[in-house]
Amino acid sequence: MSDASHSTFDAYVTAVSFDAAGRAVFALGDGTVRFEGGASVQAHQGAILSAAPHPSGAGLVTGGDDGRVVWSHGSESEEIASLPGRWIDALAASSASGLIAFAAGRDVHVRDVADAAFGRTFAHERSVADLAFEPRGRRLAAATYGGAWLWYARIEGQKPARLAWAGSHVAIAWSPEGKFLVSAMQENQLHGWRVADEKNMRMGGYPSKPRSLAFLSKGALLATSGANGVVVWPFAGAAGPMGKQAAEVGYDEAALVVRVAGAPALPWVAAGLDDGRVWACDLTGQRIVPIKAEKGAPVTALAITPDAKTVAWGCEDGEAGVAKVS
């Protein structure tokens, strides 16, 4: 590891991502958005609960416990929506369609960055825990109790497709070609569907709850948290992981992996541990590169650049950093 920079913020790090310029952008529990290099925007009066890169690639869209959805870029912020008295628990954005979706309780709202007058609202029977756009940005998946609901994000008055599986679904991810949808459950397992025929995929065996999912290697692999190493599922082929076993990379009996991040086109994954350590790995040779060797508070946010050359992380106590992968 070389060229590492460290920061100590005064708040929990909710999320981190890289913008189009390659800068790390941190969303914090004190309502601020901090940019690598020192710029800071007070985006919310209260905590940031959810975040996603803006569809333009500039800055970050955040949802807060103040009911606001805000775009922070440079030293400025713009309000996208305000729902006083609500918490914006989940948020997703699509660079392909220019859409932003956010959840407040049972309702999901959609906005278009190119059309301030555009708005859609989709109601669910139970609270929505997570949102994800399919790769083309036209369909939106909502993780909720009993499975995932699929919506066409621009269409009013529709009935959603429901991918059912009993239990509470708390995080969700599309495979890069849109063929598979995978959710993390309140139990120690994942559940997946082949979207075309709604074929179920049970993905269990976790010692703790998997909360973080990342497709990488052009969709051939899915990396997840929830074990003593990064759990990697094979997704190549029409059947995905059905009938196949997962591998575990970087096993360490003294810690659990709590966050993962993947380079979409490359076989690189980053892992954040519950003891504060961070590492990256090239899965083709399983070479593990230490990124943050010092122990500390659990990692709460993690990102890796598409070229897998830089990793950013943030922790529960506000410690954060950016480092080159060597």
* Neighbouring-strand partners of residue 141: 132, 150
Q: Give me the tens of pLDDT residue by residue for the chain, a chain 326 residues long.
A: 346 899 999 999 999 999 999 999 999 999 999 999 999 999 999 999 999 999 999 999 999 999 999 999 988 999 999 999 999 999 999 999 999 999 999 999 999 999 999 999 999 999 999 999 999 999 999 999 999 999 999 999 999 999 999 999 999 999 999 999 999 999 999 999 999 999 999 999 999 999 999 999 999 999 999 999 999 999 998 888 988 999 999 999 999 999 999 999 999 999 999 999 999 999 998 899 999 999 999 999 999 999 999 999 999 999 999 999 98
- Give residue limits of the domains in the chain: 209-326
Distance between CA atoms of residues 303 and 80, nearest Å: 24
Q: What pLDDT score does 74 carry?
A: 82
Name, in order, each residue with C-beta under 8 angstroms of 88's C-beta and a sequence gap of 6 or more.
49, 50, 63, 64, 65, 67, 68, 69, 102, 103, 104
Q: What pLDDT score does 13 carry?
A: 98
Rounded alpha-carbon distances, angstroms, from residue 91 to 39, 66, 184, 196, 309: 23, 14, 16, 25, 26
pTM: 0.96
Distance between CA atoms of residues 172 and 210, nearest Å: 11
In 29-157, the DSSP E strands lie at 32-35, 40-42, 48-53, 60-64, 68-73, 76-82, 90-93, 99-104, 107-112, 115-123, 128-133, 139-152
User: What strands lie across the sheet with 68-73, from one edge to the other?
Assistant: 48-53, 60-64, 68-73, 76-82
Q: In the CATH hierarchy, which top-level class contains the domain 209-326? A: mainly beta
Q: What pLDDT score does 237 carry?
A: 87
Distance between CA atoms of residues 288 and 269, nearest Å: 10
Distance between CA atoms of residues 230 and 319, nearest Å: 22
Closest listed residue to residue 114, CA positions, set 32, 168, 58, 55: 55
CB 310 within 8 A of CB 18: yes
| Chain centroid to CA 46 | 21
